[in-house]
Amino acid sequence: MSLRFVEVADRVYVLREPLLDVNVTLVVGDGGALVVDTLSTAGQAAELAAAARAVTPHPLTVVNTHHHFDHCFGNATLAADPARPVYAHEAAAAWLRERPDELRRAAVEEVRDGRPELAAELAETTLLAPTHTVRLETTLDVGGRRVVLRHPGHGHTDADLVVHVPDADVLVAGDLVEESGPPAFEESYPLQWPDAVADLLRLTGPGTVVVPGHGELVEPEFVRAQHAQLAELAWLIRAGHTAGAPPERIAAEAPFGARAALTAARRGYAELTGTA
């Protein structure tokens, strides 16, 4: 089945890629358009480009919510020829510019056992680094529409961007918010993650459409509930570290399931010891 965008607000569309359940957002203005995230491989990105062209003929600007493969490895397909602007947080841009081979190897290793065909495609994918970087906040004009790119702080990674479309009341949260599974803590900052989510919640109102990195669209109430879980997890990590408890004990009590919580506890302990 071919990929397609579905309109979720005024000229804001979301495409849900089925393999890894990744969301891609398309914002269309007068004479310009913005695509948020570019999927995992050249093949996926080609389907994504065709789906975007079915909605709009306007030239695309690209945003990466962070540097993980399922959100940015399609950059070259969408933005290399012809060259298009690609925005990302400065830390994500540094990963893609300075350490592309490391990123590619990590992606292949992550999916090799469960999805060998995807691993083979990832190994052959050309990476394209962002052309424009964001430190804290940048405002774009997308065909007359104001779109805000904001770094709310360390959370899922040290390089997360959220994308706010005020006139449509849409907030693209990337992997700072997850619907179809627990948050991914492998490269995270679990003690700071609650503050990052609190920052993005300030951009929401009662009717805001929130686009998580993976899964169904959610309402702000879902994000507030996930924020409460993240805050509880951070408290447990701090208390456990103070008490000298092993991370396994934290994982047994924490939200999100033992496997995710164990990774979070280890990352949180590393934050507290300055090794994260």
Q: Which residues of 243-273 are buried (b: 16+ CB within 10 A; e: fewer)?
A: eebebeebbeebbbeeebbbbbbbbbbebee
Name the residue with tokens 């990052």. 196
pLDDT band at 257 (very low <50, low <70, confident <90, very high): very high
Name 259's Cβ contacts closer than 8 Å, sequence gap at least 6: 251
**Residue 180 exposed, middle or buried by CB count within 10 Å (0-12, 13-18, 19+):** middle
236 contacts 268 by C-beta, under 8 angstroms: no
Structure confidence at residue 275 as a pLDDT band (50, 70, 90): confident
At 276 the pLDDT is: 81
Please give the angle made by the CA atoms of 94, 106 and 52, to the nearest 5 degrees.
70
Measured in residues, the chain has a length of 276
Q: Centre a 10 Å sphere on the Cβ of residue 108 and count the other Cβ atoms it contains.
A: 19
* Helix or strand run (H / E) with residue 35: strand 33-36
In whole angstroms, give the CA distance from residue 223 to residue 246.
29
CB 36 within 8 A of CB 163: yes
Is the pTM here over 0.85, yes or no?
yes
The 162-165 sheet, strands edge to edge: 137-142, 145-150, 162-165, 170-174, 209-212
**CA pair distance 191, 63, nearest whole angstrom:** 26
33 neighbors 52 (Cβ within 8 angstroms): yes
Helix (H, G, I), strand (E, B) or coil at 16: strand
pLDDT digits (tens, 9 = 90+) for 109-156: 999 999 999 999 999 999 999 999 999 999 999 999 999 999 999 999
Res 216 pLDDT > 70: yes
Whether the CB-CB separation of 230 and 236 falls below 8 Å is answered with no
Rounded distance, CA 7 to CA 228, Å? Answer: 30
**For the chain, how big is the Rg over CA atoms in Å?**
18
Q: Taking 60 as the threshold, does the pLDDT of residue 1 lie above it?
A: no
pLDDT above 70 for 55: yes
In this structure, which amino acid lies at residue 132?
A: H
Rounded CA-CA distance 99/103 in Å is 6
**Architecture, CATH, for domain 6-219:** 4-Layer Sandwich (3.60)
The mean pLDDT value of the chain amounts to 97
CB atoms within 10 A of CB 4: 14
